[in-house]
Amino acid sequence: MRNSFDWTPYRRSTVGFDRLFDFLETGGSGAENYPPFDIEKIADDHFRITVAVAGFKPDEIDITAQQNMLNVSGRKAPAAEGEERKLLYSGIATRAFERRFQLADFVRVDSADLADGLLTIDLVREVPEAMKPHKIAIGGGTQPVIESKKAA
């Protein structure tokens, strides 16, 4: 018997944890784990996704942000004529991949970089001023009294 829990409120306020919630909801069945990735919180409104993409060049990786979805995909370019390699053992996975990250409201992609086989994507949450909480002064229902100084 499994307990049913509604993860919806948590999904709305997180960045990239959609796989974790899917894992918790399905019990881990059928979860794709390639390529591996990390999600870290740099500051209150700054996050970083790091995806291990060893063997991929920048032009073989596509990053698309649309509404609250970030899609990272990679596809190796076919080997050019005369570039074919004869591998005795192939341990570096270079198969095509696609990773989707559900982004919280007001999160945008700030930058992306590929170095040392790691793709880093920086995310920033920018909540509009009108959406931020603000204090409302209680006026008591009376008009403020304006005092004026008179010369003596």
pTM over 0.75, yes/no: no
Digit-coded pLDDT (tens) for 23-53: 555 554 444 688 999 999 999 889 999 999 9
Q: What gap in Å lies between CA 142 and CA 127, rounded to an integer?
A: 34
Q: What is the pLDDT of residue 40?
A: 93
Q: What is the pLDDT of residue 31?
A: 45
Residue with the two structure tokens 């919630």 = 21
Give how far Cα 111 sits from Cα of 39, 60, 137, Å: 15, 17, 40
What is the Cβ-side half-sphere exposure of residue 42, based on CA atoms within 13 angstroms?
Answer: 13
Digit-coded pLDDT (tens) for 82-127: 777 788 888 887 889 999 998 888 899 999 999 999 999 999 998 8
Mapped onto helix, strand or coil, the DSSP state of residue 136 is coil
- Residue 145 predicted with pLDDT over 60: no
Digit-coded pLDDT (tens) for 5-17: 666 666 666 666 6
DSSP assignment string, 82-110 = T-----S---S----EEEEEEPPTTEEEE
Mapped onto helix, strand or coil, the DSSP state of residue 52 is strand
* Bigger pLDDT: 33 vs 58: 58
Q: How far apart are the first and last CA of the chain?
A: 86
Q: What is the pLDDT of residue 110?
A: 94
Q: What gap in Å lies between CA 39 and CA 41, rounded to an integer?
A: 7
